[in-house]
Amino acid sequence: MLYGRFEHTVDAKNRVFVPAKFKESLGISFKLTYNDFNKCILVYSNAEWEKYEEKISQLPTLKFEDFIREIYSNTVDVQVDGQGRIVIPQFLKEKVGIEKNVLIMGVGSHLEIWAQEVFEDKQKKIDMNKIKDLMMEMGF
């Protein structure tokens, strides 16, 4: 389970530190893709990516061809360098609005990398009463 939240900056070469807490679960090589709905980068260990690919392979190709194309064409392999950093490709940074400050957070099976400003704007729009109602509905 990946959880926690860390603030980092992206340097001029598009490198960002991977929090030590997450390195053990992710390994030294993993996948980056993005989520257009939330405007964040998704980070999957290779093992979790295989589970995700299994779900994708079950989809009817004709109905989901745009989704499948979008996912696979925007996924890259990254490796952690000797200083514990990864390079975020420029096209992914642009898709999610990352310029300098990022939040890296664990959300269970994977990580999300957010432009800090984008995440803060999203947080302002959250209806906590709706979340409370969902939690009560689920027995929390």
What would the DSSP string read from start to end of 52-104?
HHHHHHTS-HHHHHHHHHHHHHT-EEEE--TTSEEEPPHHHHHHHT-SSEEEE
Phi, psi of 98 (to 5 degrees): -80, 130
Among the four given CATH numbers 3.40.1550.20, 3.40.30.10, 3.40.470.10, 3.40.50.740, the one describing domain 2-137? 3.40.1550.20
pLDDT of residue 126: 83
Q: What type of residue sits at position 29?
A: S
Q: pLDDT tens, position by position, for the chain (140 residues)?
A: 899 999 999 999 999 999 999 998 999 999 999 988 889 999 999 999 999 999 999 999 899 999 999 999 999 999 999 999 999 999 999 999 999 999 999 999 999 999 999 999 998 888 888 888 888 998 98
CA pseudo-torsion sign 55, 56, 57, 59: positive
pLDDT of residue 133: 87
Q: What is the Cα–Cα distance from 132 to 82, expressed in whole angstroms?
A: 43
Q: What is the Cα–Cα distance from 87 to 4, expressed in whole angstroms?
A: 21
